[in-house]
Amino acid sequence: MKIAVLGAGAWGTTLADMLARNGVSTTLWAREPEVVAAIRDTRENATFLPGVRLSDALAVESDPKTAFAGADYFLLVIPSQFIRPALEGFRDILPDNPVMVCASKGIELSTLAPMSRVVAQALDGKHPRYASLSGPSFAAEVSAGMPTTVSLGCEDHELGHELQAAFSTPAFRVYFTPDYRGVELGGAVKNVIAIAAGISDGLGFGHDARAALITRGLAEMSRLGQAMGGQIRTFMGLSGMGDLVLTCTGDLSRNRQVGLKLGQGMKLDAIVGQMKAVAEGVKTTKALHDLARKLGVELPITEQVHAILYEDKDPACAVKDLMSRELKDE
């Protein structure tokens, strides 16, 4: 078995290293030649995953043709808004019927499509087989060997169980579900709610407010997910509630950090300008806002996060408007 990992950010590097240490022949493809050179010379991705020594068994390439040669599976860890152009550029060097496992979390802004549809459209005619990997998993903790559990969604049961076995390690337990759409949507929505939780904490609100946001955020995730074909039980699991709790409470969450700084009075452009890595929730907020209106699904927390990010709404006013909405049954 050989796996090619596309994207050498913190999460892509972590997963590639984990696979290599688990005895899987793994090649990490990085767009940046300087990242490839640094990993080869020092066995460290100091740009995106500093302080972590990578396995000597992990190969790294900047030439996609070399990186993809002989690969059985392709693990996508490219920021979600760049997956389509990347795959379109790789079409001629990818095999027919490629197995594409997506570990990126988001909704494409230009089309409002989930990543499964983006992959299918970008590789139309190649007949890709798709799976989604998501769950409570900070790169820093996984790379340190700390235990966690995640979900792998794949419509093909046989392929899904093959992938489950390939990705499972003593510290990284993978659960299988055929509901790939639920897995990928949970991973996208939780980033938006994490921004909201960060805003709440940045405003100085307490544990009560954060717990309420997580709970009502889960309701938003479930409503949108069901409208797009996901199963309710998936959102109660690792890729839904599990990842939601992590990103709303953990300081390693980039999306939570964006929210914290917004709540403390910083502007979005200044926050994003300070970040090396992508906070997927910023663009996902706009995509979810537009998608909810298109589908007629009510997402009040997302609406207010969108107003803060894109309409310069004062966070305190957003909280007031959220709390003064018409009273409803739970």
pLDDT in tens, 128-137: 999 999 999 9
Give the model's confidence band at 61: pLDDT under 50 very low, under 70 low, under 90 confident, else very high.
very high
Is 286 annotated in the active site? no
Tell me the pTM: 0.95
Q: Catalytic pick from 190, 261, 283, 286?
A: 190
Phi, psi of 28 (to 5 degrees): -95, 125
150 closest CA partner among 131, 137, 169, 162: 137
Q: Looking at per-residue confidence, does 164 or 276 come out higher?
A: 164
3-state secondary structure of 256: helix
Strand partners, 28: 5, 60
Q: Are residues 45 and 38 in contact, defined by beta-carbon separation less than 8 angstroms?
A: yes
With a cut of 90, say whether residue 244 has pLDDT above it.
Answer: yes
pLDDT tens digit sequence for 259-294: 999 999 999 999 998 887 778 999 999 999 999 999
Burial code of 238-267, b = ≥16 C-beta within 10 A, e = fewer?
A: bbbbbbbbbbbbeeebbbbbbbbbbbeeee
Average pLDDT over residues 234-253: 97
101 closest CA partner among 234, 5, 242: 5
Residue 146 burial (CB count, 10 A):
12
Q: Pairing state of beta strands 73-76 and 2-6?
A: parallel
Share of the chain above pLDDT 70, in %: 100
pLDDT for 278: 79
Give the model's confidence band at 45: pLDDT under 50 very low, under 70 low, under 90 confident, else very high.
very high
Enter the tokens of residue 304. 């207010």
Average pLDDT over residues 228-237: 97
Share of the chain above pLDDT 90, in %: 97
Instruction: Round the average pLDDT of the chain to a whole number and report it.
Output: 96
Q: Are residues 23 and 2 in contact, defined by beta-carbon separation less than 8 angstroms?
A: no
pLDDT for 275: 86
pLDDT tens digit sequence for 169-203: 999 999 999 999 999 999 999 999 999 999 999 99
